[in-house]
Amino acid sequence: MRFSRAFIPTLKETPADAQVVSHVYLVRGGYLRQLAAGIYNLLPLGWRVIKKIEDIVRDEMNRAGAEEVLMPASVPAELWQESGRWQVYGPELLRWKDRKGAEFCTGPTHEEVIVDMVRRDTSSYRDLPLNLYQIQSKFRDEKRPRAGLMRGREFIMKDAYSFDRDEAGALKAYDAMYAAYGRIFKRCGLDFRAVEADTGAIGGSRSHEFQVLAESGEDAIVSCDTCDYAANVEQAEIMKPAEPGIQGAGELTAVATPTQKTIDDVSKFLGVAPSQLIKTLVYMADGSAVAAIIRGDRELNEIAFKKAVGATQLYLARDEEVVAATGVAPGFVGPVGLNIPVYADLELEGATGAVTGANRAGHHNTGVDLARDAKVTKFASIRLAGGGDKCPRCPGGHFRPFKGIEVGHVFFLGTKYSVPMKCNFLDEDRQTKPMVMGCYGIGITRIAAAAIEQNHDANGICWPLAIAPFEVEVISLQPGDAAVKAAADALYAELTAAGVEVLYDDRDERPGAKFKDADLIGVPLRIAIGARSLKEGKLEFKRRTDKDATLIAADGAAAYVAGLVAAEKATFRS
RNA sequence: CGGGGCGUAGCGCAGUCUGGUAGCGCGCUUGGUUCGGGACCAAGAAGUCGGAGGUUCAAAUCCUCUCGCCCCGACCA
């Protein structure tokens, strides 16, 4: 592609609405433009990247035995009513009516459609197993779309669904997808972890998220420093503590803490470490107030807490609800004398000498002995895992905390959809049985963003070769110089003929502008052709991640660079 | 959905408090000089000031309503 003819509108300045690096560079580099909140145009460069990612995903899905289909984005409501999700899904589901008043939704995921597709034409165990996938635009009306391609409302996703006759077969399909996902993300050049995840609303017994490690990630994960256990903090197992997490002495004493409401304030005011405090959080569980108590330096795991309480609806109580339930404002609530159910983290079993709110405005208790002074309804593991926690899978290992961007998710579904939607088959023993399913998603557009989060510097993107919009950028430094132009034209032609994807910057711009654009766009290999070095019969070669260029012979340069590209591509397929 | 912020030329912003001819930088066009890490000079084109209504002799500026976008939080297969 000749840059002079291409639609690559690069920007010198940072757009005001972009906050994260991937968003900034995608917009500045001429990959992406916003059309509405969470809805984007992919410009030529952006679309090239997406297609590269799609190709890798297709290749590995096909290799794993899955077949590609394409389902419609518009889905009749009846299917969602049949699965029961029409009522459950909430405003994130974009619903609309056609001219006749028939209800539809724009698919945020396609379990219903695929189940319907499969059940119509599959009736025998001989037809199973099946694994069907598609790459398609999804729409989820997110409350708060943000960060460019990281969390859009309309986005491209690969979703696959497996159908098996029994659980053993389904687990085999799950494992095959798990392995394929590992290959896919590796080929995309990503540093990722497969982590154990909460199965969430979709249910099922097994679930892994594929998380790309990046500071800007929205998910908190922990990974063992010794073995390969990794999990979402919400899901990570926590070792039962050998001894109480708070140990101290003293009589139960109320002390004045007039304006100290937060753990931090109380800790500083009383000169006591946050780990000596007990944090009390009031929640509304199915309409009634319950308290969760955890150590002051911990965070509550709402999912675990919800399970411990056995509630179906749970939310942090509003200030007035806290006052109504406890008689005191948040910040001064404590377990001593509290007359709502109290759920305590395991770590607090046997806690002594702790500091808590006193259920009296402007006061905290010190010297609290939980067993002696308070009534605990139930002890359960209700805190989030964090860095430093002991690994539950190996001796001596400890958790290290990471931030992750979820680029893939595999679920074992079981019969969650096949039973209500009667997706059945006839077995050898003439029994009608529901198919056992799995579903497997990959955020295609999100991978592009995640790759940039992980591969960039102060000047722009540093694409992994496998998903770069072009493999090589050829820069003609003096397009007005006949010798330079001839050499650059020839190199462009030779590389292209050799099957290399080349962006040829033939624009009548000053060298500085071209170098800046090249760094911003982030093509992995760069060859600059200038009068100075061409006189010596040399071209200037530089990887995007190299600091300086090296001189290579102009003769045979195309073959040399084409060889490098071919060699690097070969390493992608294991 | 709760809280906060912002809508003025393609992009980034000033002007709004205190009403009085709509500005600056980048980009764009033309000419000239330049030419190895986002050049310089000169001359230009380009804006119904998000929209509607109101107050006023006069509204980007004040009032009411509305739409859009961004951030924090809650939420999330």
Residue nearest to nucleotide B36 (CA to C1'): A511
Query: b/e map of A469-493 (b: 16 or more CB within 10 Å)?
Result: bbbbbbbbbbbebeebeebbbebbe
Give strand letter and number of the nucleotide nearest A518 (CA to C1'): B37
pLDDT for A446-470, tens place per residue?
A: 999 999 999 999 999 999 999 999 9
Residue A223 neighbours by CB under 8 Å, 6+ apart: A193, A195, A229, A230, A399, A400, A402
Residue nearest to nucleotide B39 (CA to C1'): A510
Least confident of A215-229, A405-419, A489-503: A215-229
**Fold that domain A3-237+401-452 belongs to in CATH:** BirA Bifunctional Protein; domain 2 (3.30.930)
Q: Where in chain A is the domain with CATH 3.40.50.800?
A: 470-570
Strands A278-285 and A314-316, by their bridges, are antiparallel
Give strand letter and number of the nucleotide nearest A218 (CA to C1'): B76
pLDDT band of A553, cuts 50, 70, 90: very high
**Strand B nucleotides in reach of protein CB atoms, 7 A cut-off:** 1-2, 11-13, 25-27, 34-39, 68-77
What's the CA gap between A332 and A323, in Å, rounded? 10
Instruction: Please give the pLDDT value at position A284.
Output: 81
According to the per-residue pLDDT averaged within each range, which of A109-113, A244-248, A311-315 is highest?
Answer: A109-113
Instruction: Please give the pLDDT value at position A403.
Output: 86
Residue A110 neighbours by CB under 8 Å, 6+ apart: A71, A75, A134, A136, A159, A161
Q: How far is the CA of A569 from the C1' of B72 (A)?
A: 43
Q: How far is the CA of A346 from the C1' of B31 (A)?
A: 80
What's the CA gap between A302 and A307, in Å, rounded? 9
CATH superfamily of A253-380: YbaK/aminoacyl-tRNA synthetase-associated domain (3.90.960.10)
- Token pair in block for residue A484: 């330079």
pLDDT band of A19, cuts 50, 70, 90: confident
Please say whether the beta carbons of A407 and A181 come within 8 A: no
Q: How far is the CA of A85 from the C1' of B1 (A)?
A: 21
Looking from the CA of A380 toward its CB, the CA atoms found within 13 Å total 18
Q: How far is the CA of A110 from the C1' of B20 (A)?
A: 61
Q: Where in chain A is the domain with CATH 3.90.960.10?
A: 253-380
pLDDT for A334-377, tens place per residue?
A: 888 888 888 888 888 888 888 888 888 888 888 888 778 878 88
Give strand letter and number of the nucleotide nearest A481 (CA to C1'): B35
Q: Where in chain A is the domain with CATH 3.30.930.10?
A: 3-237+401-452
- Closest by CA to A6, choosing from A506, A516, A526, is A506
Q: How far is the CA of A485 from the C1' of B42 (A)?
A: 31
Q: How far is the CA of A24 from the C1' of B24 (A)?
A: 24
What's the CA gap between A261 and A331, in Å, rounded? 4
- Prediction ipTM score: 0.88
Give strand letter and number of the nucleotide nearest A200 (CA to C1'): B77
What's the CA gap between A50 and A443, in Å, rounded? 11
Query: Looking at this protein, which amino acid is placed at residue A286?
Result: D
One-character DSSP codes across A28-54: HTTSEEEEETTEEEE-HHHHHHHHHHH
- Closest by CA to A525, choosing from A511, A546, A510, is A546
Q: How far is the CA of A262 from the C1' of B71 (A)?
A: 24
The whole-angstrom distance between residue A447's C-alpha and the CA centroid of its chain comes to 9
Instruction: Please give the pLDDT value at position A574.
Output: 57
CATH superfamily of A470-570: Anticodon-binding domain (3.40.50.800)
Cα A309-A314-A319 angle, rounded to 5 deg: 115
pLDDT band of A547, cuts 50, 70, 90: very high
Instruction: Please give the pLDDT value at position A455.
Output: 93
Least confident of A15-24, A428-437, A464-473: A15-24
Mean pLDDT (chain A) is 88
Tell me, what DSSP letter sits at residue A236? -
Residue A305 neighbours by CB under 8 Å, 6+ apart: A283, A292, A314, A343, A380, A382
Give strand letter and number of the nucleotide nearest A39 (CA to C1'): B69
Tell me, what DSSP letter sits at residue A146? B
Residue nearest to nucleotide B75 (CA to C1'): A143
Give strand letter and number of the nucleotide nearest A411 (CA to C1'): B77
Q: How far is the CA of A87 from the C1' of B64 (A)?
A: 39
pLDDT for A295-306, tens place per residue?
A: 888 888 887 888
Using a 10 angstrom Cβ sphere, with 0-12 exposed, 13-18 middle and 19 or more buried, the burial of residue A395 is exposed
Q: CA quadruple A348, A349, A354, A359: dihedral positive or negative? A: positive
Q: CA quadruple A58, A59, A60, A61: dihedral positive or negative? A: positive
Instruction: Please give the pLDDT value at position A223.
Output: 84
Q: How far is the CA of A487 from the C1' of B49 (A)?
A: 51
Give strand letter and number of the nucleotide nearest A198 (CA to C1'): B77
